[in-house]
Amino acid sequence: MSRIGPVFSQPEHKALIAYITVGYPSLEATLKAVPLLARSGCDIVELGIPFSDPLADGATIQKASFSALQNGVTPQLCLEVAKQLRQEVDIPLVFMTYLNPVFSYGLEEFCAACAKGGVDGLIIPDLLPDEGSELEAITQKRDLDLIYLLAPSSTGERIRLVAQRSRGFIYLVSVTGITGVRDRLPANLEAFVSRVRKVATQPLCVGFGISVPEQARQVAQVADGVIVGSRIIQLMEAENNLKSVGNFIKELRRALDEPNRI
């Protein structure tokens, strides 16, 4: 079992998952941010590997990815960063990337390097579950959780397939589209989570568009975890000392731990 499983074994605990792009706004910022996220209440950190064609990402993360690529961040460098971070934090680290960089690196080689560096799972938005059997076999051999995504538009067949094959948790995209800060949660979110819950036994974590504690609190009422990315990226690029990032994560943690708090 990877480190991800125990996160969801705590009674009544809602997982807080943070996303950052490796190398944005700098590698130094990444190395400082992840321990801060862990100290401030995050249960899992997603490390985004910059990619030139991030189809699932909105403007904020696209900008971060482009900047990191301009700064020379590569999958190999991301692996080295993850290995360094593993020496500093105990929480699960998950790579969020696209199939092309993993395929170019070599499926076996990439997964071996992930396992050696202390990475616990992979999220690959453009990998369809009916095309993932090869990578599934490799990740299972390396004790990595391959986490699939579902959107509100997912068919019943796709939901059943993901429920059979996703490991660690299932990533529920709150809206059909791309990542980014949004003013409000979709009205059909509860129905979407309920539809997946009827089929899946894995924990269900919701991302895309969550940017304030109240939204996190609302999501936690129906899901097992909350994923926040774009707002963290915005805060990271606004200042150098990351103080606002730590404060933001603490506010989210309180919202999840004290759902009735006014």
Q: Is the pLDDT of residue 55 over 80?
A: no
What average pLDDT does the segment 17-35 reach? 96
**204-207/225-228 β-pairing:** parallel
* Residues composing the chain: 262
Q: Domain range holding 79?
A: 14-146+178-187+203-256
Q: What confidence score (pLDDT) does residue 2 get? A: 79
In-domain check, residue 248: yes
User: Is residue 1 situated within a structural domain?
Assistant: no
- Name the more confident of 181 and 38: 38
Q: Is residue 159 part of a domain?
A: no
Please tell me the total count of domains within the chain: 1
Higher-pLDDT residue of 228, 188: 228
pLDDT the model gives residue 1: 61
On whether residue 197 sits in a domain, the answer given is no
Rounded to 5 degrees, φ, ψ at 223 are: -120, 175
Q: What is the pLDDT of residue 34?
A: 98
Q: What is the Cα–Cα distance from 24 to 21, expressed in whole angstroms?
A: 6
Residue 9, C-beta contacts closer than 8 angstroms, at least 6 positions apart: none
Could you tell me if residue 106 is inside a domain? yes
Q: List, for residues 145-182, the tens digit of each pLDDT value.
A: 999 999 999 999 999 999 999 999 999 998 754 444 44
Q: Where does 71-188 have alpha helices with state H?
A: 75-86, 99-105, 107-117, 133-141, 156-165
In-domain check, residue 126: yes
Q: Catalytic amino acids? A: 46, 57
Q: Give the whole-angstrom CA distance, residue 43 versus residue 224.
A: 12
Neighbour-count burial of 153, counting CB atoms closer than 10 A to its CB (0-12 exposed, 13-18 middle, 19+ buried): exposed
Where residue 182 sits, what CATH number does that domain have?
A: 3.20.20.70
Residue 138 inside a domain? The answer is: yes
Q: Give the DSSP per-residue string, 39-99.
A: HHT-SEEEEEPP-S--TT--HHHHHHHHHHHHTT--HHHHHHHHHHHHTT--S-EEEE--H
Q: Give this prediction's pTM.
A: 0.94
What would the mean pLDDT of 36-41 be, rounded to a whole number?
A: 98
Asked if the structure places residue 164 within a domain, the reply is no
Which comes out higher in pLDDT, residue 166 or 58?
A: 166
Residue 3 has pLDDT above 80, yes or no: yes
Instruction: Considering only residues 259 and 70, tell me which one the structure prediction assigns the higher pLDDT.
Output: 70
- Per-residue pLDDT of 72-118, as tens digits, reads 999 999 999 999 999 999 999 999 999 999 999 999 999 999 999 99
Give dist(CA 129, CA 148) in Å, integer: 7
